[in-house]
Structure 1
Amino acid sequence: MSEFINNRELKTTTNPIERLTILRQIFKDLYNGKNINEVKAHFDAFIGKVTVEEISQLKHEEMLDSDLPVEEIQRLYSLHTDIFRGSIETPTRNNRPEDEPGHPVHTFILENKAIDQLIQSRVQVNYEKFLQEDSEENIYKLLEDINLLLDIDKHYSRKENLIFPYLEKYGIYGPTNNMWRIDDFIRDSIKEARQKLSEYDGDKQTIASVMNFIIQEVTNMIYREENILFPMALQNLTEDEWVKIAHESDEIGFCLTGPANVWKPERNHLDEKAISEGYIKMETGLLSLKQLELLLNHLPVDITFIDQDDVVRYFSHGKERIFARTKAVIGRTVQNCHPPRSVHVVEELLEDFKSGKKDTEDFYIKFRDKYVYIRYFAVRAENGEYVGTLEFTQNIDPIQAINGEKRILS
């Protein structure tokens, strides 16, 4: 440990600044290869119990070398959980909205129970049978379990797109960025397990490696959510914000189960004002705000606008969105709307737009059953000043299927 810690008496401290300094040093020691048992002993001696507020102030990314191999990053994240396990103080609250059926946290916990049951009663059992005998039947059963586990994407997506933005609003970034990266590791591992099992070539060791990671990290994530993320969110988010989260959860979907009821809080001040009937006069016409919104939502494309400060200001809300969007992203920086591993791509594109190096950029990908064309446009004022970026997303499968002619008279 650091000289600072070595020179202290062997007892816990209550000074907030000292505690945060020691916590940061403890995690630096982990990154520098110190033995987990030694680090945990120092944690117990100098910190003892840790609060979710203290955890929210830790920014692991500041201490983590982005050039580390993925396997090392995964190992370190797992050690984070080992350090905190059993040492997190449960906040005292007068009311417990998470106990009310239909509250978003109540639903998240229901899903976690279903995920844990799937892991313990099916995945773990069929994985052990596979290790004993990699028969076609045992491979099929394990593959069936993995296909069910793919549903976890909805659970993680709701967490990332609905809870994380509000935590960021309150200045809490570290745990959310950290957790999103682990979510992606888990998603990738589940997909890898499905592919390896579907194309099984007798390499049992590769299957064992990815399955061990899935079982361990899915279980660890349940602990992180229920002991760190949810208490942190319940302490910071207002009732109105939870109402918005509950309202928008259906758009993303649920994992293995769903809400036990429709949540109706005792006090709900959520402002559901109708759109003003005011008008907007433009160079080529005049539209009411209602007409403008309907017009944008009827376009056969999804559009999102990001302002000059990289803040999401608007997205259209058509009937068949390609990528999930929730109202929680409004006012959030676009960098924090993307998984950590792809943020550098977003930043490079925005920098090219701001500098004038580029005005457009196109991408096209296969996404589920669609062929998606994604276009980005630098939006500039008459004098060339950069005012934002327009994202334009379209399913072009129907367009590619067109042949011949269809005239308006026919």
Structure 2
Amino acid sequence: MSEQINNREYRQEVIKQVISELHQGKTVDEVKQKFEEAFSNVSVTEITEAEQALIAEGLPISEVQRLCDVHAAVFKGSIEEIHQTADKSLIPGHPANVLKRENQFIEHFIDTEINEIVSGNTNNLTSTSVKHTLNKLYQIDKHYLIKENLLFPYMEKYGITAPPKVMWGVDDEIRDEIKDLITYLSDKTEVTQDFIYRLDKLSIKIKEMIFKEE
């Protein structure tokens, strides 16, 4: 059995089964248990290959995108880092380094200013101050544009096509939700619990994207 688990093709097939079962409606806990029983870690490369194989077999990009956050929940903590001799993210000025540093700033912004809104007393919040914070959060658009216009073409050049398409779709969802929340506050003087709920979900999605990028 150990030889089978170490077989790359077998491991990729298990990942494909996990993603397919999520698509069919199984819960994250059900799939995660099956995954953990099969093996304890998996490389990012194998997840990418599995998603591309599913797309090649006919699973629409939109479906992979819809399950993107679920994939992260299943595989997070099980993905082994792929260390290379020349880690571009450590080279000052390199796009990978810029994106990594920006991700650190984005995560800090969420942990401080956004979480202050989410966890605070809504009676003490004004729509004007929250809109100001959301406008600052929308600067994330510049971060996504660097990724989409510099890194994605490079990935696609080497045949890595599924992750860019899926991530670009999620980027658009994040941008749209920030704009929707700003619009939501336009005719309100107070911050509602519904708004807090949506903002909390948005912050989780942004953090999941940071995880996927890195």
Partner of 1:41: 33
1:73 Cα deviation after fit = 6.0
Matched, 1:148 2:128: no
Query: 1:208, 1:99 → 2: CA distance?
Result: 36
Partner of 2:96: 105
Partner of 2:75: 84
Counterpart amino acid of residue 21 in structure 2: D
Aligned mate of 2:22, from 18, 23, 30: 30
Matched, 1:93 2:84: yes
Contact residue 5 and residue 11 of structure 2 kept, 8 A: yes
Aligned mate of 2:122, from 133, 151, 168: 133
Matched, 1:211 2:211: no
Aligned mate of 1:56, from 38, 48, 63: 48
Q: CA RMSD in A?
A: 2.4
Contact residue 56 and residue 173 of structure 1 kept, 8 A: no
The runs of 5 or more residues in structure 1 that have no matched partner are 1-8, 227-410
Aligned mate of 1:163, from 132, 138, 151: 151
Partner of 2:13: 21
Matches within 5 A, 1:5-404: 13-57=5-49, 58-59=51-52, 61=55, 62-64=58-60, 66=62, 74=66, 76-129=67-120, 132-135=121-124, 137-200=125-188, 204-226=192-214
SS of match in other structure, 2:5? coil
Counterpart amino acid of residue 13 in structure 1: I
Contact residue 122 and residue 192 of structure 2 kept, 8 A: no
Contact residue 167 and residue 173 of structure 1 kept, 8 A: yes
SS of match in other structure, 1:63? coil
Query: Hey, which of these two has a bigger chunk of strand by percent?
Result: 1
Counterpart amino acid of residue 59 in structure 2: M
Contact residue 41 and residue 80 of structure 2 kept, 8 A: yes
SS of match in other structure, 2:147? helix
The alignment's TM-score, normalised by the length of structure 1, stands at: 0.48
Partner of 1:313: none
CA shift digits 1:277-315 (9 cap, x unpaired): xxxxxxxxxxxxxxxxxxxxxxxxxxxxxxxxxxxxxxx
1:164 Cα deviation after fit = 0.7
Contact residue 10 and residue 45 of structure 1 kept, 8 A: no
Tell me: CA distance 1:121–1:202, structure 2 relative to 1, closer, same or farther (3 Å).
Answer: closer
